[in-house]
Structure 1
Amino acid sequence: MSDLPDSHDLDELLGAYALDAVSPEEADRVEDYLAINPRAAAEVREHREVATMLAFTGMDAPEGLWSRIEQELDAPAPAPGPELARVMSIENAPSRRRFATVAPWIASAAAAAIVAVVAIGIADRATAPTDPLVAAYEAADADRDSAKATLVAEGSSFEAVAVIDQDGHGYVRAGELPALGADQTYQLWGVVDTGADEPDVISLGIFGPNPELETFTTETPVVALAITIEDAPGVISDGNPEGIYVGTIG
């Protein structure tokens, strides 16, 4: 007779197992369970992906990242391509005041409409109405007090929508971003205007190599976002990120 706990007991161990917080004996039992239960194995992968993203949240940007973002803000936009879009309109209802402390370097760049951004596409995946993530995104999108940015690409029919609600919960529709190799990841950064000559740039999360509808949280209002392509699992404190594209929040 097997000495494995029943499936309910094992299901309760999946989160702890994903974080390496179980005993060796429990780990052996969970691994036997995962070998015969694809659903449980998928749940463990999801737990680990979330843990990876949270591990980078709030982290300071590597030295030199802000200067590269600033260069993108000041430089003329490159020729549009499948990975680029121009900021065509920013809708921001009453909550605009929350994001109105914009340093001159942001204001001038936004006014000139020359800021290139990653083309965050509307995801093609089918989403059930009961999906809690989709429901949360739709609620934020419907809230007139949420900060919204509408992005379109010249010569392309798709558009991008980013939403940040009043509590700092953000949503990025990223289903049309080009898929990366398994050794790379998209990483989201937020630019925080502190009133100093150089703003703070912090990581808002890891999106993985093939993002769809992604979420992030910021406790401090951000005046700009940047998405970079990094070597997996993401930048910690050093590196020279590839493909920095930035967009301003209204």
Structure 2
Amino acid sequence: MTAELHTLTGAYAVDAVPEEEAAAFERHLRGCPACGQEVRELREAAARLGSALATSPPPRLREATLTEVARTRQWPPLVAVARQGGPVKTRIALWGAAAAAVGALVFSLVTTTTDPGTDPAQQRLASVNAVLTAPDASTVKGAEPRTTTVVISRSQGKVVVLAGDLPPLAPGKAYQVWLLGASGVHSAGLLAPDGPHRIRPLLADLPGAIDRVGITAEPAGGSPAPTVPAVVMVDLV
């Protein structure tokens, strides 16, 4: 059972473990510093992903909510009642029903808006979450504070790179991520900005025999191979 609990770090970090299993895992955490450290790192990675991929609700969400509020009765009609306090109790109950209806509408719109089948950003987030919650998800951080974090899943065949504070780039340059190991040097793609002082998480296929992740400053269109020394190098083993 303990061996199985070791595989729950990713799911537990994003609150995706059933209550009974979560209780058992929390007991396991008290005596397993390695799992505790991995949960903390995965939660940090998930928080950074949420911040990096956050999007503002569409204007139609507010308009639709206000429209529903306007046509939903908030108070019952005034009627004679036999008991004192009856109207108050009835009004409170109906107000709760109206609020629940509006809440259901908002939930429905948000769910529709964030459907990973239609929204590219949500598709990317779903793919990243699949790596973070994989049973074999492993998180590795660079040596310096606020540096790059790498999450890999061999079963998913994917790697997620969360770049930390990187030096400002010269004009015409871009940061490119490399996967290095016995199988050679593979480009994982270019890091893309996602707002002021933020870099979008990079999701890439993970070739076999990769034991390092590096980042170099390359020409804006990227290079077939690194042309300068790495500004970041993270050892995966």
In the superposition, the TM-score normalised over structure 1's length comes to: 0.41
Higher helix share: 2
Larger Rg: 2
> Larger RCO: Structure 1 or Structure 2 (Cα < 8 Å, ≥ 6 residues apart)?
1
In the superposition, the TM-score normalised over structure 2's length comes to: 0.43
